[in-house]
Amino acid sequence: MTRNELADKLDHLDPGATLSVPETVLAMLFGEGRLSKEALAMIEAFALEHRCTFSVEHGRGTPTFEKDDIF
């Protein structure tokens, strides 16, 4: 997956819908093979650009984007 593909998926989510993306994929797109604090900040900003919130718990579950309910 590329950043453009992820952006397209986020843009087409319905309000309140979620999209889970494996940490390994996010690390390839935004980091240097791992999710550093800087990479997480970039992902959060990317999510906001596409009217989503981003959440991740290290070592637990898959990182998730959630489309905002308000456009």
Is 71 a domain residue? no
Average pLDDT, the chain: 90
Residue 65 lies in a domain: no
CB atoms within 10 A of CB 58: 9
Average pLDDT over residues 41-54: 96
Going from the C-alpha of 68 to that of each of 13, 15, 34, 37, 39, the distances in angstroms are: 9, 6, 27, 23, 22
Within a domain: residue 70? no
Query: What kind and span of H or E run contains 6?
Result: helix 3-11
User: Range of 49's domain?
Assistant: 3-60
Does residue 71 carry a pLDDT above 70?
Answer: no
- Residue 58: the pLDDT is 66
Q: How many domains would you assign to the chain? A: 1
Beta bridge partners of 55: 64
Q: Does 67 map to a domain?
A: no
In a domain, 33, yes or no: yes
